[in-house]
Structure 1
Amino acid sequence: MIGPTLDAAGAVLADLVALQPCAGASPDVTVLCADVTRSVIAEAFPGALVPVIDSAGSMQVNVAASTMSDWRRLKPILLAFAGPTLTGFDGVPEPFDTADPVGTRLMLAAPAVTAIMRLPGDDRSRIAALRAVLRARDTLARAPELQRLAPVPTSWLLTRFQDYLNVGRRDAAAAVLERLRSEFRLDALNIKFLEVQLLAIFEDWTRIVALPEFRSLCVARRTPATTAFLLEALYRTYIAEPFDAENVAGTRTAFETLVQPFIQSMLITGAPPGLQAGGWRLLGLEALGSGHGDLLSILADRMHELGWIADLLPARVSATPQAAEVADPIDTAREALIQAEAVDSIDLLTGAMAAIARLSSDELALLRETMPFRPMVQATDELASITPPTSWIAWLDRASDPAFTNALDFARRGKDEWEIGASVGDPVAVRALVAALEKVQGDELAGDRTTQALPYLVAWLQRDAEFPRAALSPIYGRLLTLFALGSARGATIYESSQVLVEALLAAGLDQKAYHDLIADIDEIAGDGFGVDMVYWVLGLVESFMNAAAPDASARETFLHRILARIVPIYGRLTRLQRIAVTLLSSELGWPLPVTPATDSPSADDDLANRLAGLRIAIYSLSDSSSRQAKSALEEITSAVTVDTNADHGGSVRLRALAENSDIFVITWLSAKHAATEFIRKHRGSSTLLYAQGRGFSSILRAIEDHLSH
């Protein structure tokens, strides 16, 4: 059905019938056209299909969906029943021709998406295509229960994307990004920003600069985090080599010819949060060439980031107090609005709203009547009742408010903008955040929102240069407890919880905190878990085995209990998962009990055939993990060649492995190591996988996931 009500849809159908869209068709085609057109008033159908014959005799079916949700349901069904084999429909939206009266009438119903299915020229093929369209319509009509299932919200997909990035699951994050793109969840620009984020997390800087849209991204309205990524990509691609060689002339030439035009197009007025050393150096080079006073002020406290550039910068001249002028309130508001319009920043938006609030009624009226400020003021008016939070504590205080419907959106942006440095090592700030986290436990809505925002909170904590930090252990522990008690623990967002577990173990725990950690993991795992959680569980087991234990007896009991929960599903595990379970249980001195599940042969997952003939390289700073992964893979088949490496810098052997291996795996915790940049440089476009943990089970998981797709 098209339109908000059945009566409205009926009016659309009446108008379409009056237009006689299939005039001149054969009787058989005419009957089918009338039947297809009744989709306009079919309440169980997500949209409208209207066949049309134009003046030249060409025939097409106009497709209209009222909402993006309807389109996501409609597109795959139409592709399945009447895709490119029968029609010209390939699933890509397309506007109606302005000369098409049927399309013009459908547009009056304000559809969210339109598309066109072009039909063949002969009657026989047209009849086959129209019948296929009818079967698609009837299939949806016979499955009303599927239509009531709420689709996964876009905000949840974005949260899942961040969750995978937190633990280095590049392929999984890329799959979420592709879903967001294929289902038209976001516009093309925001999809590209997410792609930049993904590439930046894995330090794939040259691919960012090589994006065809890179120049457009530099001039578009961006978040501060995206700006920081673009700057770092420019530095690493064009400037790092001559800068490291202290080639002053070469650095300045490369900057002026290859980088400066992009910097100037970004219109940077302040240092974006999260700016890395490369970005600071580009701002230093820009200030070096222009003597820009504002840039010099920004760089004043960052001279240690600039290297030899700092010695070349002119001294910043401070304005005397007498020279300072008090800006007019309306000028301040104009400047704040311009900055908020140019940069998608919570802080700038908050500043603009505060500046507008200080205006008199006459000044506000003048601003509302003046272009280009009128639409900017209108936009802030719409947000007047939603004061943006400026910290996680403010966000948590608002989490119980039913009107705070864009909580996850603010969390997604706040993870990059909200200060982390001021919180570390400050017991008062730590206690305040822990208290805010404890408070949300007493409210169901606040607890659910905080649980859903867990990946963003973890990403924010990971911005700490010394993560994991012992002083922040109370925050790590409280977040993990919230997640254990939250309603989303049974969903797919549990990867970031492993980051918290490893952070707590690395930071060191007393006996009570250790017992609390075990209790939280027990709660998250539940009484039983599925095959999809096995690698997650094995990763936790390895983390506990590798970390110091304030209570060895409690650790042993816990690990045996966790492994025992795998026994009922052992028969459903892949061969590689079984080998991993057996290796870990043997290390614990706990042989798996013989049951029908453990004694049965594993399903033939064809992994041996897929591994045979491959050369796999594993780079990890933990030799034992690499050796265990190598042993497990070779147990699957002797036809696989597995090489391990832990060199701390570029070497002839490491280069040979990078250039010649079919699959190269880097453990995520080694991904920031100097040698990994060397690997990426010589790997080119060949397969490079990231294992999310430091243990061998995460290496096996990365390989198995890759070979399964």
Structure 2
Amino acid sequence: MQDDEFFGPGNDIKPARLQPEHETSIENWRDAIRRGQIAFLPRSTKGNLYWYGFAPTKREQKELLTLLDAWVGPTFSDLPRSRGRLYPQDPFDTALAANDVPPLRFEVLPRGSGTARDEVRQALLVLSKLVWKRPRSEFDAPRTTVEVLDDLGHAIGAQDRRIALACLRELEAFADLDHSNLAFLRLRVHAGLGDIAAIFADQDLEHVLQLRRPLGITRLLQFAVYERYLEEADASGDGESLIEAAERIPTGLRTLTTGGTAGSRRALVVEFVLARLNGAATATLERLADEAQTISPTLADTLRLLITPEAEPTRTPPGAPAAKPDVTPRDELHRLIEEGEFAAAIVAGLAEPPSTTTAALLLGCVRELEDPRLAGEVAAFVEASGLEAESSEHDIVVRADLDWLAHFLTPQRHLGWLGWFDALQANDAVGMDVDFSVCADWAPLDQATVANCLSSLDEEALARLGDHGGAFMATHSSLFAGQDGAQLCERVLAGFAVSEKNTAGIRLQTVALLEYLAAADAGKESLAASLLWTEDILRAGTSAVTAGWTVDVLQTATASPQALDAKTRLFYTALDVLRPVRSSLSLADIEGLRLVAEELATSLPDDFEIEASTADPAAPYRHLEGSVVVLYSLTESAITRAAQVLRRLIPGIDVRTTSDHDGSQQLAALSANADIFVMVAASAKHAATNFIKDHRGGRPIIQVNSRGSSAILRELAEG
């Protein structure tokens, strides 16, 4: 549809009949569309008003959706639900969908509100002018998808929700990912951050449940279902309670079965209860119970008690009509597929002579299972059947399955983390650049193996680890946070230092690794080496916009009780890189530097001092006077530093810190009695989080979604 056809059939708006200023704005927008600029056109039908946002490219279309969220959003539109999608049953939209870059559509809400219509129109007028007049800048150029995904991996590894969501928004605006893949990625991020509530609240969950999705996405949804609906009942060991809990699972989530090997207790329990709710055959339930035997014999016994044997088939009485002919192999194959027994269906199909019909069925089965061994056998069967040669472009499903199989069998997909380390050593760009859709199902390495792999990397390979290690850190973050993680942390800091890479992901991961080192009570030699590497990271990463991060790194790195010359050296290095940008430091940052200086028995240089008469560093925190403030985090360094700064700024303030892993009387009392409770979400276990919320009794909790003392102080300053 051309823009001059927009006001034809299907649109009750006729520009010539509008007020002159409205007609002029429409003409300006139409002219902008012809010149390849962002613009908007209104449509009225059946008394409802819709706006269509036009963008010249896919990238700018994604950016436009972000802008509309900010300028119109949920207040006056259905954007949170529709996400700008055209309506396929509307002939008017069908014509627009044929455009190279289809426009975004949203309805003005509430319907019939003159105020809403005026507000939206005015917002779009202002937005248009700002977009048209903004200067082009080389610094605004989008990063590559690989770069953003690497930062996203670091954000997940460090459990930094703020940076993770910022990376997601960047991918939504600029990456060449379709709607479904973005939805899959968003769910992986929610799962990586341990945010089960966000998974169930995701705007595209219903869409994903209706899709043919990757096995990894089904698994993470199964884990979310287990945690929300089944975990407590499963822990009780009572089968009847488990079924009662399963009956509370919404209908839409009951499709989360795979027909394959579960591999974990969570997935197996979900597979079993959903199969039972969906009326699966006894053979399916018995297969799952047998699999449970290798996970937990007690669980297997519980599940077997929940299996109701099928009734014996009725015998044909004498003189009755003859029974139906024997079931053919093709009938048996279809039966197994209908029951979701895809592995059994593949075994049965592979035993038959190769044919295009059977090959097509087996392709669909192996796509559901994503089993590398079976995929290889099916690929050989497909080749022998001649399916690929006989398939035409009109066989959409078969062609899609064949393309999937070819991609699934690529070496990179099954490289594994050991193969990834080999790629680092060999400087193999294809092997190094893995994304979450490829490596999500790779088995994590254990601590000893990771230590050996990291120690084997030469300097060049270490630099490549710094450049490409985001997904690896997301998968193995628990190893670095463990008591034996000091050596691992030192090697990754070395990788960051020699790579000289400066991104948000590297910066937040640096703070996280230093927190782990402080908590692990690293030896003197390991800590000294880590601080030397940190100097190089500060030189590469400090700027006017990251000065607060530099102070965070310094405070975290010097939090351990060991008195090391390396700490003093790091302090002066930090001052050197901060000196050119010291005007960017907040007053709280200056106080943090002064605190470190006093601990190191030195003083802050005069050029960093602020005249007390010109500024009050305590002003943002005056509202805390007379309050009991509790800071909670599993890593003590950040909350210890934040508490120290607050006590210096406001003498006499009652600030308490706690790092209890599990519910305790002390944590319960602090949660219940604190006037202000701050929880560092990047360093808090799910069970402790729920414990705190339960004992707060509905009172507010300030949640800090980033690491470092400055993030805590920033949230407190903002109230």
Scaled by the length of structure 2, the TM-score of the pair is: 0.70
Report the aligned-residue RMSD: 5.7
Structure 1 194/638 Cα, relative in aligned 2: closer, same or farther at 3 Å?
farther
| Residue of structure 2 in register with 1:702 after alignment | 712
Structure 1 531/640 Cα, relative in aligned 2: closer, same or farther at 3 Å?
farther
Q: How does 1:190-229 map to 2 (within 5 A)?
A: 200=191, 205=196, 221-222=212-213, 226-229=217-220
| Residue of structure 2 in register with 1:375 after alignment | 400
- Native 8 Å contact 1:170 1:689 kept in 2: no
SS of the equivalent of 1:109 reads: coil
Distance in 2 of aligned mates of 1:127 and 1:629: 47
Distance in 2 of aligned mates of 1:231 and 1:583: 48
- Native 8 Å contact 1:665 1:699 kept in 2: no
Structure 1 174/349 Cα, relative in aligned 2: closer, same or farther at 3 Å?
same
Distance in 2 of aligned mates of 1:228 and 1:247: 23
SS of the equivalent of 1:417 reads: coil
Distance in 2 of aligned mates of 1:152 and 1:138: 26
> Aligned match of 1:671 in 684, 702, 705?
684
- Native 8 Å contact 2:256 2:271 kept in 1: no
Whether 1:459 aligns to 2:474 is: yes
Deviations 1:66-119 (A, max 9, x none): 33322245567789999999x989796253898887x77654432243336989
Q: How does 1:111-510 map to 2 (within 5 A)?
A: 111-115=101-105, 139-146=130-137, 149-152=140-143, 156-174=147-165, 200=191, 205=196, 221-222=212-213, 226-241=217-232, 244=235, 246=236, 248=238, 251-258=241-248, 265-270=255-260, 275=264, 278-279=266-267, 292-296=285-289, 298-303=291-296, 308-309=298-299, 327=351, 337-338=363-364, 341-342=367-368, 348=371, 352=375, 355-356=378-379, 359-365=382-388, 368=391, 373-381=398-406, 388-395=413-420, 410-421=434-445, 424-426=447-449, 440=461, 447=464, 451=466, 453-462=468-477, 464=479, 467=482, 469=484, 473=487, 477-486=490-499, 488-491=501-504, 493-501=506-514, 506=520
Distance in 2 of aligned mates of 1:355 and 1:660: 63
Deviation at 1:632, TM superposition (A): 2.9
- Native 8 Å contact 1:177 1:195 kept in 2: yes
| Residue of structure 2 in register with 1:526 after alignment | 539
SS of the equivalent of 1:494 reads: helix
Distance in 2 of aligned mates of 1:619 and 1:258: 34
Distance in 2 of aligned mates of 1:249 and 1:268: 22
Deviation at 1:496, TM superposition (A): 1.8
Deviation at 1:592, TM superposition (A): 0.9
Which runs of 5 or more residues in structure 1 are unaligned?
A: 1-10, 316-323
Scaled by the length of structure 1, the TM-score of the pair is: 0.70
- Native 8 Å contact 2:162 2:705 kept in 1: no
| Residue of structure 2 in register with 1:320 after alignment | none
Distance in 2 of aligned mates of 1:309 and 1:94: 45
Letter in 2 for 1:268: T
| Residue of structure 2 in register with 1:6 after alignment | none
Whether 1:689 aligns to 2:680 is: no
Distance in 2 of aligned mates of 1:638 and 1:501: 29
Structure 1 351/510 Cα, relative in aligned 2: closer, same or farther at 3 Å?
farther
> Aligned match of 2:621 in 608, 625, 636?
608
Whether 1:579 aligns to 2:604 is: no
- Native 8 Å contact 2:702 2:715 kept in 1: no
Distance in 2 of aligned mates of 1:632 and 1:195: 36
SS of the equivalent of 2:105 reads: strand
Deviation at 1:524, TM superposition (A): 1.4
Distance in 1 of aligned mates of 2:688 and 2:353: 53
Distance in 2 of aligned mates of 1:361 and 1:259: 43
- Native 8 Å contact 1:620 1:626 kept in 2: yes
Letter in 2 for 1:538: D
| Residue of structure 1 in register with 2:313 after alignment | none
Letter in 2 for 1:523: D
Distance in 1 of aligned mates of 2:33 and 2:503: 39
Letter in 2 for 1:166: G
Letter in 2 for 1:392: W
- Native 8 Å contact 2:86 2:105 kept in 1: yes
Structure 1 368/393 Cα, relative in aligned 2: closer, same or farther at 3 Å?
farther
Letter in 1 for 2:643: K
Structure 1 112/376 Cα, relative in aligned 2: closer, same or farther at 3 Å?
same
Deviation at 1:387, TM superposition (A): 5.1
Aligned residue pair count: 657
Structure 1 272/188 Cα, relative in aligned 2: closer, same or farther at 3 Å?
farther
Distance in 2 of aligned mates of 1:207 and 1:18: 42
- Native 8 Å contact 2:630 2:657 kept in 1: yes
Deviation at 1:523, TM superposition (A): 1.9
- Native 8 Å contact 2:154 2:505 kept in 1: no
Deviation at 1:525, TM superposition (A): 0.9
- Native 8 Å contact 2:96 2:103 kept in 1: no
Distance in 1 of aligned mates of 2:409 and 2:479: 33
Deviations 1:600-636 (A, max 9, x none): 6557685225545654322356789756543432444
Structure 1 53/707 Cα, relative in aligned 2: closer, same or farther at 3 Å?
same
Letter in 2 for 1:689: Q
Structure 1 203/691 Cα, relative in aligned 2: closer, same or farther at 3 Å?
same
Deviations 1:382-433 (A, max 9, x none): 778785342235446668999978975x432455321224x5435xx86567
Identical-residue share of aligned pairs (%): 19
Distance in 1 of aligned mates of 2:62 and 2:41: 19
